[in-house]
Structure formats: structure tokens, C-alpha cells
Amino acid sequence: MKVRLIQHTPEPEKLVAAAAKLCYSPVGVEDIMEGLEQQKTDKFLGMLMDIGHESPIEHVSFTFAVEGVSRVLTHQLVRHRIGCSYSQQSQRYVKLEQFEYIIPPEIEKISQAKSLFVKAMEEDQKNYNSIVEILYKEHFDRLIAEGKSEKTSKAAAEKSSIEDARYVFPNACETKIVFTMTARALMNFFRHRCCQRAQWEIREMAEKMLVEVKTVAPTLFKNAGPSCLEGPCPEGAMSCGRITAVREKFQAMNCKN
């Protein structure tokens, strides 16, 4: 899994502090960015994060590029809709001559399970290739018969064939995605997906994302993480029961930044 923060709002913490400053002082727009040296910005922003005043953090956004993840993960990821935008590699337009796949750790560590899993993936690729070939010939012959040029027929036939053959691919199929979230959307994302009860793959990605944003906005994300960092576990009877260990883990992450 590769997770990269590829772009973000310039000086995100200063911008958030400026927006919040407008809420609490008579400053005008001409002076809104003045007097926000690092020490003052950190102090003001730290206060905002501690009291939970999150509306000003919607003004900044962070864009990630991720690869080496499964479609199981992205199906969960795109459920985060408010303040989020997504661009994912298309199986409709990209022909997968040899698709990569993600093996869950619990399958990886048991040789018999892994053998069955890999066999299933190999069969999926063979079936995909066969279906593409069959559909391609059918579409190409029809288009030629309709009077289309060979070049046009080839392009259209390939698109139509992979468009339908992709249905054979499994959830394990590797994918790549670029997505943007506002800081407030990220806070919500981290509360849900850094939780120990989140599915292992999206939890791993969420933790990598948190490390990335802490490098550019450590004060803004100083309290970011699962909900249990700032209060009791919201999962009730379904709690992981490891609240102390979880808090220590994320506190250590702050120390590294």
C-alpha cells in the first residue's frame, strides 16, 4: 500500500487561524492574515481544536494518491461523501492484462487458504481474458459489417469487451485512487477509520494518511484519531477493549511529529 499526500492548501494552519480570527475579533478582510506568526497560530489553533470548533477547518483541503489497495477498501472509502472528491482508475477504460490483487493477512498466513485464494485470482484473470477475446471478435465483426473503419472498430470493440468482462473481477482487485478531503471531513474519517473495529485495510490507510497530514499541519491534527482518544469508546459492548493501548499509540504518533 502506498499513500501519498500530493497536494494541500498552502499554509493550512495559518488559513484556518485567519478564518477563525474573523469569528472572534473585529478584524477586517485587509488585515485578516496579519499578525499570525507561527507561535500565535499554534496557540490559537490548539485552542480551537481543544474546544472542538471545527467549522473553520473546512477552508483547507488535502489531496491523497493511493495505490496497492483493493476495491473492498474503495467501496468503503467512497461512503465518505461530504467534503470529499474521488477519481479512481477505471476498469471500463483500462484493460487489465494482468490484474494485481490484495491478499488479506489472515489468508496470507495460512498456506492452504492462500493457495486457494491465488488459484481463484488466476482463474479470474483467465476468464477475463477469454471473455474479452470472445466479446471483442463479436463487436469487431458487427462494427465492420456496419461500415465502420478498422481503426474505429478496434477501439470501440475493445472498450465494449472490457466494459462487460470486468464483471468477473473480484473485490480483491488492486486499484488506484486520488481523493481530496477537507480537514473537517478528514477528522470525521479518522474518528471512524482509525478505530480498531474498522476493517483492517482501510484502518491501515487511515493511519498512513494521518501520519502524512501531521507532517504539514501538526497542530490542526493533534487530536485526530479514533473517537476514544477524547472520550469513552462509542462502540459500547462492541468495544475492542484496548482503549489505553490505542491512546498510547496515537499519543506516540504526536511525539514523532
- The span from the CA of 209 to the CA of 214, in Å, is 9
DSSP secondary structure string for all residues of 31-42: GTTTT--HHHHH
Query: What SS3 class is residue 65?
Result: strand
Of 71, 166, 191, 193, the catalytic one is 193
Burial of 237 (0-12, 13-18, 19+ CB in 10 A): exposed
Catalytic residue list contains 81: no
* Cβ–Cβ under 8 Å, residues 50 and 148: no
Nearest to 104 by CA among 66, 69, 75: 69
Ramachandran region, residue 217 (left: φ > 0; alpha: ψ -120 to 50; beta: rest): beta
Angle (deg, nearest 10), helices 38-51 and 12-24: 70
- Catalytic residue set: 193
